[in-house]
Amino acid sequence: MDIISAYLDFDTVDLVLLGVFALFFLVEVFFYLCYYKAPLRFRRKQAAMESSSKEAWPLPLPSVSVLIVSSNAAHHLQRCLPLILEQDYPNFEVIVVNDGSTDETEDIVNRLHSQYSNLYGTYLPKTSDNIFGRKKLAMTIGAKAAKNDVILSTEAFCEPASSKWIATMVRQISSEKPIVAGHCYFSDKPRSFASRLIAFDNLMYALQYMSMIIKQKPFSATFRNLAILKKVFFEHKGFASVLNHQHGEELFLNQILSGENTTLCLHPDSFVKSVFEDSENYIWKEYKIAYQQIKKHFKGVGTWIFSMESFSRYAILIVWGVLLAKSIIDFRFGAIILASILSVLVVIIQLVAINKSSKLLKSGKFYFSWPILNLIQPIRNLYFKSKKNRSRKAIGSIQY
């Protein structure tokens, strides 16, 4: 018995290391339960309110302008535009801003216009000057062309998950909450490792910006699915304050979002899905590069709060490794046994939280792949932060 007690004994260094380990354990549990599960709790409350509401539509019905910026994305428009044009909503138009396309974009818009009178096209000539990005200008052209009260933005490669996408998003908008952040998922059944990595990365980003909106401290959202009152867009003078920033449209959102003016829509009918193929993964990479480069200008605590969580992912693993090495050297295993029990517990909490949230947000299942993806994601973020944006191709006015 004395021999067993000696093996399980703790010295001062063990206690210090266990204290540090416990700290990072609590950080991880806190983030996963308080932040990464927040959208799930929010959706449950939202669903309860929807079931008790008797109104199918908000009254009075706002008119909606769906805004799409597209560059050389004819094959996506051909697939996604009809799904948008056939939305079950009584008063809307669709505006496609052709950002210097050299493919069949204009022909597709003209052909569909003969079938759908509420489809309109406008054009931004192609130039070699991309120093500050073209998307801000293209979106401004589209916003000025919009005739209706609400601007609902998406991308050429996004298709609505439901015929009630417009109705579900717009139902949340009001004069008190003139901005509605929606969700865009990349794959509900990712097959390849690359698609699984994209789906996981997008899931983590979505959980972060959604949880901060819920906590009334928003720092970001996505133009792939965002509704905003047109007058609010122009009250902020559009992108005037971010003209000198490449990818300033992301910074624009950070500047105008607040706990008072922004809400979140998580009804499954409000989702859109990105439908680009594995060969077009550069689209996702360009989104990552754009976001990682511009977020250093963000106001608020959102980005650094989640940087703390990313740091704790590695810290908890490093401290566990140090405890393991010390236990082997000292031939005393009490500290590593306790740390391992806590490690198993935190992994279970993380897996349950992530997979329940992933089911809600249609991002696939993450069990065996989660440990690898969880460690890769922060490293990939640092990689994208170091990359420079180069102009080579474009879809939806994302240049590289």
Task: Quick: pLDDT tens for 362-382.
Answer: 998 998 888 899 999 888 888
Compute the mean pLDDT over every residue in the chain, rounded to the nearest whole number.
Answer: 87
- Across the beta sheet with 262-264, what order do the strands follow? 119-124, 92-99, 64-70, 150-155, 226-229, 179-181, 262-264
pLDDT of residue 242: 86
Which residues, listed in sequence order, are joined to residue 155 by a DSSP beta bridge? 69
pLDDT of residue 102: 86
Q: Of 151, 177, 169, give the one whose Cα is nearest residue 64.
A: 151
Q: Could you tell me the two tokens for 259? A: 């706990």
Domain 38-300, classified CATH 3.90.550.10, yes or no: yes
Q: State the Cα–Cα distance between residues 242 and 234, nearest whole angstrom.
A: 14
The CA distances from residue 36 to 26, 121, 265, 306, 374, in Å, are: 14, 39, 16, 11, 13
Give the residue extent of every domain in the chain: 2-34+303-367, 38-300
Q: Could you tell me the two tokens for 308? A: 């703390």
pLDDT of residue 57: 57
pLDDT of residue 398: 44
The letter for the amino acid at 260 is E
Q: State the Cα–Cα distance between residues 134 and 123, nearest whole angstrom.
A: 12
pLDDT of residue 397: 43
Name residue, tokens 């959208």: 39
The letter for the amino acid at 270 is S
pLDDT of residue 51: 74
CB 317 within 8 A of CB 342: no
pLDDT of residue 333: 85
Identify the segments of the chain with pLDDT beneath 50.
Answer: 1-4, 390-400
